[in-house]
Amino acid sequence: MTFKTIIEPFKIHSVAPIRMTTPQERERLIEQAGYNLFSLRSDDVLIDLLTDSGTGAMSRNQWAAIQHGDESYAGSPSWEIFRNAVQNLFPFKHVIPTHQGRAAEKILFTAIGGSGKVIANNTHFDTTRANIEYTGAEAVDLVIPEGLEPASRHPFKGNMDLIALEKFINTRGVENIPAVMITITNNSGGGQPVSLENIRAVSAICKKYGLPFFLDACRFAENAWFIREREVGQGDRDVVDIIREIASLADGMTMSAKKDPLGNIGGWLAMNDDELAVNCRNLLILTEGFPTYGGLAGRDLEALAVGLTEIVSHDYLKYRIESTAYLGNALAKAGISVVQPIGGHAVYIDARALLPHIPPLQYPGQALAVALYKVGGIRGCEIGTVMFGRKPDGSEEPSAMDLVRLAIPRRTYTQSHIDYVIEVCIEVAKNAAQLRGYRIAVEPAALRHFTSVFAPL
């Protein structure tokens, strides 16, 4: 007998209160926040699905490991515990700890970027793209065409377009390409996985042209679980084995430990190349710290080492992927179009489909995200024209999709929280025709989604 209820494979050990608010209060709070959900106080949010980054609950073993942290400036045993845990899954020669993923990106692209250079990825995450462009280099996205079609059911919509990649290499020239990257899972493309077959093929193309191949591996365990579930011939493998194979195909990685490593803070950069590692460690010392702690306290390194052992549990990953699908499938069943198949860490509502009367340059994703907050106190995140519409030359264009991401923090919310989210989404969708677009009243020079002030149209 198998039961259909997906139980959380943990019990609650310590709790944080949720402060209840009314729709009237939220109407006022979001206006005060300039209709930007990043400007809200989290106390004013009921269910916070802004991000799955650093927002997960640590286990009792992680909290116990915090007590074991050694805060020595150099050569801390906590560093060795962390490095061993990383290399157990990703056996790269050099591991360089950073305070989060973007710090690893900043260091890597400072070392290998610069004007005239171009980096390919399935889809660059926003900080990855911004760090590349900041050095004067160019970031090119080469995801397969299905990856840009919200309704396509391709099982690995995060895959790199291999023909486009070879064409890119031949037209741009090997000498101008310091690295090829692949993001697992493809966050900006809907949390969609990349197949092992595709990673093998990208690796082979990079080898053929002598190009370094880097992973942006934030959600590596979720990606490995999808490979196990969906890829022919992978169903009997342990996810640890799949993860090690992925690592063996690459020359290095950038990592945010705020996702699958179950940390509240942390990241790393890893690679096999000795010379690049020396260069990156020197940059690390300028802004992050000594190479045995990076931007982290010894206690954080210890918590991450434990998180890396917990994230590869099959019971956990099965629950994680099924519970995210539970939310996505319920919305789809109610007629709300969501990116299909449901991704690993989040459900992405297709705001352009739900609000066809709001043109992309009036930000349908923003309109939907604000409505979810007003109606139900839910905080999601626009991933669309607000986030990607402003081009480096100053022009503005609709992004490929206008989505609202409901990202699920790890081990944080229960099924009843998610049932409430479903109800709120259905209520907002019922009144979708009444929603209006927004304009940007105040816009910063870069990464505008974080701090822009919006005004309703």
Per-position x/- string for 397-426, each x denoting binding to ligand F0G as judged by CB under 6 A, each - no binding: ------------------------------
Q: Determine the residue type at 369.
A: A
Q: Tell me the closest approach of the beta carbon of residue 346 to ligand F0G, in angstroms.
A: 8
Smallest gap from residue 123 Cβ to ligand F0G (A): 9
- CB-nearer residue toward ligand F0G: 106 or 299: 106
Q: Of 127 and 234, which CB lies nearer to ligand F0G in the complex structure? A: 127
Q: What's the closest the beta carbon of residue 102 comes to ligand F0G, in angstroms?
A: 3
Give the shortest CB-23-to-ligand F0G separation in angstroms. Answer: 26
**H helices of 334-414, where?**
351-354, 364-376, 385-388
Task: Using CB under 6 A, pick the residue from 76, 100, 203, 323 that binds ligand F0G.
Answer: 100
Q: Contact, 76 vs 70, CB < 8 A?
A: yes
Residue 125 is a binding residue for ligand F0G (CB under 6 A): yes
Please answer whether residues 405 and 380 qualify as being in contact, where contact means their C-beta atoms are separated by less than 8 angstroms. Answer: yes
Contact stretch for ligand F0G (CB under 6 A) within 97-105, 228-236, 275-283, 390-398: 97-105
Total length of the chain:
457
Distance of CA 46 to the CA centre of its chain: 22
Q: What are phi and psi of 47, to 5 degrees?
A: -125, 115
Q: Which stretch binds ligand F0G (CB under 6 A): 95-103, 142-150, 172-180, 320-328?
A: 95-103
Interface region with ligand F0G, contact rule CB under 6 A, candidates 94-102, 243-251, 274-282, 409-417: 94-102
Report if residue 198 touches ligand F0G, rule: CB under 6 A: no
Sole window of 124-132, 325-333, 357-365, 444-452 interacting with ligand F0G (rule: CB under 6 A): 124-132
Does position 122 interact with ligand F0G (CB under 6 A)? The reply is: no
> Structure tokens of 427?
């209520």
Q: Which stretch binds ligand F0G (CB under 6 A): 25-33, 76-84, 120-128, 162-170?
A: 120-128
Long-range CB contacts for residues 170-178, cutoff 8 Å, separation at least 24: 172/118, 174/209, 174/210, 174/211, 176/116, 176/117, 176/118, 177/117, 177/118, 177/119, 177/120, 177/209, 177/211, 178/112, 178/113, 178/117, 178/119, 178/137, 178/212
Q: Which residues contact 118 (CB under 8 A, 6 or more apart)?
A: 137, 138, 139, 140, 172, 176, 177
Q: Does 256 bind ligand F0G (CB under 6 A)?
A: yes
Between 159 and 432, name the residue whose CB sits nearer to ligand F0G.
159
Q: Does 101 bind ligand F0G (CB under 6 A)?
A: yes
**CB nearer ligand F0G, residue 144 or residue 435:** 144
By CB atoms closer than 10 A (0-12, 13-18, 19+), residue 171 is exposed
CA distance 87 to 55: 24
88, containing H or E segment: helix 77-89
29: Cβ contacts below 8 Å, ≥ 6 apart: 21, 40, 41, 44
d(CA 40, CA 34): 9
**Which residue is at the shortest CB distance from ligand F0G?**
101
DSSP strand pairing (118-121 vs 138-141):
parallel
- For residue 384, the SS3 value is coil
Of residues 280 and 429, the one with the C-beta less far from ligand F0G: 280
Helix (H) or strand (E) segment spanning residue 323: helix 314-333
- Point out which span in 58-66, 123-131, 174-182, 303-311 binds ligand F0G (CB under 6 A): 123-131
Q: Which stretch binds ligand F0G (CB under 6 A): 125-133, 145-153, 275-283, 301-309?
A: 125-133
CB of 409 to ligand F0G, least distance (A): 10
**Which DSSP symbol is given to 189?**
G
CB of 204 to ligand F0G, least distance (A): 23
Please classify residue 416 by burial: count the beta carbons closer than 10 Å to its beta carbon, then call 0-12 exposed, 13-18 middle and 19+ buried.
Answer: exposed
**Which segment (23-31, 98-106, 130-138, 162-170) binds ligand F0G by CB under 6 A?**
98-106
> Does 55 interact with ligand F0G (rule: CB under 6 A)?
no
Residues 330-369 that bind ligand F0G (CB under 6 A): none
Query: Any contact of residue 216 with ligand F0G (CB under 6 A)?
Result: yes
Query: Site for ligand F0G (CB under 6 A): how many residues?
Result: 15
Catalog residues that contact ligand F0G under the rule CB under 6 A. Answer: 51, 53, 100-102, 125, 127-128, 183, 187, 216, 218, 256, 258, 267
